[in-house]
Chain A
């Protein structure tokens, strides 16, 4: 019965629900891309493994430059951590530094990120070698002038010819190429295809010109051991820095789990922000629905009068108009879910094509359910007033209405 009222003005009906369609589209995109982003970030963090902890200079909450330039982590901290008595659950201590640099070969120059690594970076960063070998402990001890190039760097400087054994120049110093990385693609923090890796001691002395350490990754013997290990690490470095009160810490320890929480917070904030915009669109759409329902009630005054004359109770009329409103918004919701899913899917493809990031398309099921729920609720909220207006019309006056 309700459908008949809606099909009378097809264009008007469509325009009316457009606001709902847009709102639900936005909600679907937000939830779908939001969970895609979260899935991607969590996947990247999982890449590190769940059994690692990062020792980061500076107090917690010091983001960006401040934490990079803080020089509180030193070689003696690495030595203290390497002492089995201090951190018994640590399997591997991986200090590293990083910064921008320029790698030159003959006349070619390549601007890239430098990773001053430890042998353990190979495992921590899950690096595979296409050719040659990774740095070893000896290279670190001797501050050896050896370098490993990302696949893109090698391609750019050497083309198809063999690079192993060749010498590249950084800051007027020659480095022997000992390894080439397998192509790995963009990862969350570093593009390993465009990276140059030297021993961290070499990077400190000859390239970056400082003697502090930017990060120490500590790999635990198991995931379960991580929380206890974090406490041991904190105690060890406090002792090493002669810090009594944890409030005076000049470093902090972060696990991928902590980072995941931080990212979740960020995506949650974004979701709320975009969700609010969607909500505004839905309210505007709802007012549109209410408006058109009021017009419809007026237009169909005689119909209402007739139905009442034939025995329709007030509740029957109320239900009829309410169902109409809910069908309207529900249809808008379904259209919104379809277009939202489609746009999200296209979005993930675009991100993959142009960003080179394998951004997983996540099924917008929760968004779809939310969309259906929200659009139905809007139909109910904004339909109840017009429906009530319709139901309380007097049958006689309605029949007389011209």
Chain B
């Protein structure tokens, strides 16, 4: 079943009469359980595409359906609910709240999802365990390493049991070793049946996906399934 369906979608920015076409006439279907990498040079529109797919931004025109429902007429709050219940986000810059503890950061989506205590703590703890940070769950996130921060972000993305994880350059701020750990996590999630959509400009990261969509000048240039081995490391060795 199609999880996300996009028809004739475009995103145009207007700044003082000057129009910038960030996305033009995109048609795309993502099925449940897919692992999609969106690649392309900077300024190609790949991040904009991810943000529109993640309901963080509204398209200028075109249709967007999730689980078969068109979201065009949804209000800000309805979109917030969709993000909260169906989507999880992992960002390049981690975007954790540095003064909160690991556990409190992971709890955030549950707070906005209306999950009360003590269930909130229970679920959040499980996720912190899952990413292997249970011993650091009371640490302020400012004190963690980059790799640990991104694991907190993954725990936070998973805490509402979303259907799809959006990851925008999740390894961009990490050393290769930490980056691999994060990719391993994303693959494991995908193996368990969760849909993962990742934006990257590094081909070795893209190679860990099952499907690669190349974006250029706001258009889809190619859309291909990855053949053969899925795990390819930066040094080119196959795991």
Contact = CB atoms under 8 A, between A and B. Distances in A.
A395 B95 CA distance: 13
Contact of B109 (A303, A310, A315): A310
A309 B96 CA distance: 12
B76 A4 contact: no
Nearest to B54: A309
Contacts of A395: 56-57, 83
A64 interface: no
A308 B91 CA distance: 14
Interface in A304-340: 305-316
Nearest to B156: A310
A390 to B, nearest CB: 13
Contacts of A312: 80, 112
Contact of B108 (A8, A310, A394, A396): A310
A315 B114 CA distance: 14
Contacts of A370: none
A308 B83 CA distance: 9
Nearest to B88: A310
B56 A396 contact: yes
Interface string B61-95: 00000000000000011001101110001010101
A220 B26 CA distance: 99
B28 interface: no
A303 to B, nearest CB: 6
B225 interface: no
Which one of A302, A310, A314, A315 has the highest number of Cβ atoms from chain B below 10 Å of its Cβ? A310
Contacts of A309: 54, 56, 83, 89, 95
Contacts of B56: 308-309, 394-396, 399
Contacts of A394: 56-57
A62 B92 CA distance: 83
A315 B81 CA distance: 12
Chain B: number of interface residues, binned into ranges = 20 to 34
A311 B83 contact: yes
Given A310-B108, A396-B57, A399-B91, A4 B99 contact: yes
B88 to A, nearest CB: 9
Contacts of B91: 306, 399
Contacts of A316: 112
Nearest to B112: A311
A401 to B, nearest CB: 11
B2 interface: no
B97 A396 contact: no
A4 B96 CA distance: 13
B100 interface: yes
B77 A313 contact: yes
A312 B114 CA distance: 10
Contacts of B112: 307, 310-313, 316
Contacts of B111: 1
B137 to A, nearest CB: 17
Interface string A32-47: 0000000000000000
A84 to B, nearest CB: 83
B77 A4 contact: no
A81 B171 CA distance: 104
B113 interface: yes
B51 interface: yes
A381 B99 CA distance: 28
B221 to A, nearest CB: 23
A310 B106 CA distance: 10
A1 B76 CA distance: 22
Interface string B24-60: 0000000000000000000000000001001011000
A303 B141 CA distance: 14
13 contacts: A303-B97, A309-B54, A309-B56, A309-B89, A310-B109, A310-B112, A311-B84, A311-B109, A313-B81, A313-B112, A314-B77, A399-B56, A399-B95
Given A302-B95, A306-B91, A314-B80, 7 more contacts: A8-B99, A309-B54, A309-B89, A310-B109, A311-B80, A396-B56, A399-B95
Interface of B: 51, 54, 56-57, 76-77, 80-81, 83-85, 89, 91, 93, 95, 97, 99-100, 108-109, 111-113, 156, 160
- Ranked nearest first, the 5 interchain pairs of A and B with the lowest CB-CB distance are A311-B84, A396-B57, A311-B112, A396-B56, A313-B77
